[in-house]
């Protein structure tokens, strides 16, 4: 028998939403409704990819679109004690706003994150007990083959988080005597203006400016990207489900640069039975634009808003956003948004996660 898992309760799921975006105000873009909230739900973004037809790429290229969307981040080695002391603590945490994510191996190393002033520690049982901090169990309870893990959340922006306060000194003690190993961090400053006396400079950071990778002249057999729109009947749900699964698979193959979606693909049907979905296909030339690094969700949100503003009503595009797997299980959030052709206000959203 094949060893397929029988319990899928804790396995990642993919949900699909087909809806209308409503009015888009560029001065106050929405953040609380789909599909925008799905992008904002990513705590940290490691990859964003646009797949657009060639004619749309010419439009955004002429608008200096790529030059405006160049995110920056840094790589630096620090201890937890250095984060909670000195000018770094005062400027970046108490007054400013930064994102930080430590290096880790999934299920092996301790993981630290900093977002909105909240320092989150994913610890093994031994480190948690030695540190003496208050936390809660992490992961699926009672699952065989897993070791007990703990997660500790510390809001460093609270008024009580000051040197000399009893609770804060307890945290400082744990960082000095237990959790004192230097680790490599990914660091992103969300402030609009750089600091004159940057306290990060004394840590000798490696600064990175992300340049997008652009792949042009991708000739494919383009399937119909318009979802089935018939009256509600017995077969409508199954038709849309098939469309959603097949379209997401097709875009995934385009992202992987698979030869199966190329126009000149001549693979033997005995070796591979895959064909693009739909009964009719069009010859089309696509462009893939990919950013990889360490970005805030607000950057990906702004990218989506600019794409919606610069895309003609009859042209389609897709945007996928991949987050980092945080915690011991390394659960990764992924979402893909498709603006269908000839539908300026409609969207199809795929969300993968627990």
pLDDT digits (tens, 9 = 90+) for 49-76: 999 999 999 888 876 677 777 889 999 9
Give pLDDT tens digits for 105-148: 766 778 999 999 999 999 988 999 999 999 998 765 545 555 67
Location of structure tokens 């969700």 = 297
| Model confidence pLDDT, tens digit, residues 170-195 | 999 999 999 999 999 999 999 878 78
If you count them, how many residues does the chain have? 354
Residue 2: is its pLDDT beyond 50?
no
Q: What is the mean pLDDT of residues 285-303?
A: 93
Angle value at C-alpha 340, between 272 and 282, nearest 5 degrees = 45
Q: Is the pLDDT of residue 80 over 60?
A: yes
Confidence of residue 299 (pLDDT cuts 50, 70, 90): very high
Check residue 144 and give its pLDDT.
52
Lowest mean pLDDT among 155-169, 183-197, 298-312, 325-339: 325-339
Q: What confidence score (pLDDT) does residue 141 get?
A: 56
Q: Which residues contact 31 (CB under 8 A, 6 or more apart)?
A: 37, 40, 301
Please check whether residue 98 is in contact with residue 190, taking contact to mean a CB–CB distance below 8 angstroms: yes
62 CB contacts (<8 Å, ≥6 apart)?
Answer: none
Mean confidence (pLDDT) of the chain: 86
Lowest mean pLDDT across 185-189, 263-267, 348-352: 263-267
Cβ-based neighbour number of residue 122 at 10 Å: 24
* Residue-level pLDDT at 189: 92
Which stretch of 41-45, 78-82, 181-185, 261-265 has the lowest confidence by average pLDDT?
261-265
Top pLDDT among 203 and 195 is at 203
Q: Which two tokens stand for residue 135?
A: 């936390």
pLDDT score for 278: 80
Task: Tell me phi and psi for residue 159, to 5 degrees.
Answer: -60, -25
Is 230's pLDDT higher than 70? no
Instruction: State the pLDDT at residue 331.
Output: 62
Largest CA distance in the chain: 73
pLDDT score, position 7: 55
| pLDDT for 279 | 77
Mean pLDDT of 187-216: 89
Give the burial class of 73: count Cβ atoms within 10 A of its Cβ; 0-12 exposed, 13-18 middle, 19 or more buried.
buried
């Amino acid at each position: 028998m094949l060893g397929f898992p029988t319990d899928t309760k804790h396995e990642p799921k993919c949900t699909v939403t087909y809806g209308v975006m409503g009015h888009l105000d560029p001065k106050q873009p929405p953040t609380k409704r789909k599909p925008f909230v799905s992008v904002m739900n990513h705590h940290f973004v490691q990859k964003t990819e646009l797949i657009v037809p060639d004619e749309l790429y010419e439009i955004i290229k002429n608008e200096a679109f790529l030059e405006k969307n160049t995110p920056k981040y840094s790589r630096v080695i620090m201890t937890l004690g250095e984060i909670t002391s000195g000018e770094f603590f005062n400027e970046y945490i108490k007054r400013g706003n930064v994102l930080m994510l430590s290096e880790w191996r999934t299920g092996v190393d301790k993981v630290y994150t900093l977002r909105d002033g909240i320092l989150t520690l994913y610890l093994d049982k031994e480190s948690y007990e030695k540190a003496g901090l208050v936390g809660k169990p992490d992961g699926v309870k009672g699952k065989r083959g897993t070791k007990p893990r703990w997660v500790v959340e510390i809001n460093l922006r609270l008024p009580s988080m000051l040197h000399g306060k009893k609770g804060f000194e307890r945290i400082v003690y744990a960082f000095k005597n237990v959790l004192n190993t230097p680790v490599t961090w990914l660091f992103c400053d969300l402030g609009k203006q750089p600091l004159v006396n940057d306290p990060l400079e004394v840590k000798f950071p490696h600064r990175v400016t992300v340049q997008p990778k652009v792949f042009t002249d991708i000739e494919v057999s383009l399937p119909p990207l318009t979802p089935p729109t018939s009256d509600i009947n017995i077969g409508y749900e199954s038709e849309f489900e098939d469309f959603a699964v097949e379209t997401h698979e097709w875009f995934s193959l385009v992202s992987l640069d698979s030869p199966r979606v190329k126009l000149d693909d001549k693979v033997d049907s005995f070796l591979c039975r895959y064909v693009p979905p739909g009964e009719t296909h069009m010859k089309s030339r696509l462009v893939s634009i990919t950013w990889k690094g360490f970005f805030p969700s607000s950057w990906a949100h702004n990218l989506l808003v600019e794409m919606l503003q610069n895309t003609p009503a009859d042209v389609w595009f897709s945007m996928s956003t991949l987050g980092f797997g945080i915690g011991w299980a390394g659960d990764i959030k992924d979402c893909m948004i498709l603006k269908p052709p000839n539908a300026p206000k409609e969207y199809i959203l795929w969300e993968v996660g627990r």
